[in-house]
């Protein structure tokens, strides 16, 4: 039986000031080995809001393929900042039949208490999603009340290749999520008008831009 130890820090500076990758790994290795697991440590530096984390995705792929049977992480915020993304990982654990352990909170998807905490997390995720939706609706209504045209006075105004704009609209019409569209554009080697990485919010702004001629984004 193998457990993957996943550790993360946001910056190189944080890794040197008390929340190091090494200190996280040391605690988790002891716990996993005490429970009889062989361990593999996967560590990375990057924001918890970024779901395109190479090492986390590598861990999830191994778990899905049955190459490991458990994922150990020290804190929820090491695994992700969004309750929705945390819930997604918890759902993978349940569906793919592997164990998720968040050491500091005593969350263990093999125990009754862990399942209870997971249920609470699910409710928090749903509330978070609803609050985000309501906030976006209020923001758009406030803009309309002020006579602001999205994509003209505010929002995305970049010099986007028309073919890329059509491709984004096509992916959206096919039912892909904003995050999935960003991933597909990256895989095709396409970049945003101002360079850098594609983010879900960038995709949303493009879809809501007058040039794209969409007025509703799922």
Rounded Cα gap, residues 172 and 13, in angstroms: 38
Please tell me which residue, 83 or 60, carries the higher pLDDT value. 60
Please tell me which residue, 182 or 125, carries the higher pLDDT value. 182
Burial of 150 (0-12, 13-18, 19+ CB in 10 A): middle
Question: What are the strands, taking DSSP E only, across the chain?
Answer: 2-9, 38-45, 70-73, 99-102, 107-108
Per cent of the chain over pLDDT 70 is: 79
Residue 128 has pLDDT above 80, yes or no: no
Q: What is the pLDDT of residues 96-118, one digit of tens each?
A: 999 999 888 888 888 888 878 77
Q: How many residues does the chain have?
A: 218
Residue 122 has pLDDT above 70, yes or no: no
Q: What is the pLDDT of residues 25-55, one digit of tens each?
A: 999 999 999 999 999 999 988 765 666 688 9
DSSP string, 11-43: SHHHHTTTS-HHHHHHHHHHHHHHTT-EEEEEE
Q: Considering Cα of 88, then 90, then 93, then 94, what sign does the dihedral take?
A: negative
DSSP label at 154? B
Rounded Cα gap, residues 210 and 205, in angstroms: 10
Tell me how far apart the 2 most distant CA atoms of the chain are, in Å: 64
Banded model confidence at residue 13, pLDDT cuts 50, 70, 90: very low
Q: Can you read off the two tokens belonging to residue 50?
A: 């970024």
Partners of 9 in the beta sheet?
45
- pLDDT average, residue stretch 190-205: 80
Tokens 């939706």: give the residue.
133
């Amino acid at each position: 039986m193998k457990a993957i130890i996943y550790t993360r820090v946001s910056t190189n500076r944080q890794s040197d000031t008390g929340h190091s990758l090494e200190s996280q790994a040391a605690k988790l290795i002891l716990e996993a080995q005490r429970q009889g697991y062989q361990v593999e440590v996967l560590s990375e530096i990057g924001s918890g809001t970024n779901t395109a984390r190479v090492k986390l995705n590598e861990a999830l792929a191994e778990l899905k393929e049955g190459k490991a049977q458990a994922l150990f992480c020290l804190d929820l915020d090491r695994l992700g900042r969004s309750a929705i993304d945390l819930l997604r990982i918890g759902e993978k654990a349940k569906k793919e039949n592997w164990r998720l352990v968040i050491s500091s909170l005593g969350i263990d998807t093999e125990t009754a208490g862990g399942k209870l905490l997971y249920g609470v997390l699910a409710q928090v995720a749903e509330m978070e999603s609803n609050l985000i939706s309501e906030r976006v609706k209020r923001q758009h209504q406030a803009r309309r009340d002020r006579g602001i045209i999205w994509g003209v006075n505010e929002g995305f105004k970049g010099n986007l290749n028309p073919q890329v704009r059509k491709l984004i609209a096509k992916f959206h019409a096919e039912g892909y999520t904003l995050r999935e569209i960003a991933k597909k554009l990256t895989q095709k080697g396409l970049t945003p008008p101002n360079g850098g990485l594609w983010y879900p919010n960038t995709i949303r702004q493009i879809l809501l831009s007058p040039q794209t001629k969409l007025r509703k984004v799922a």
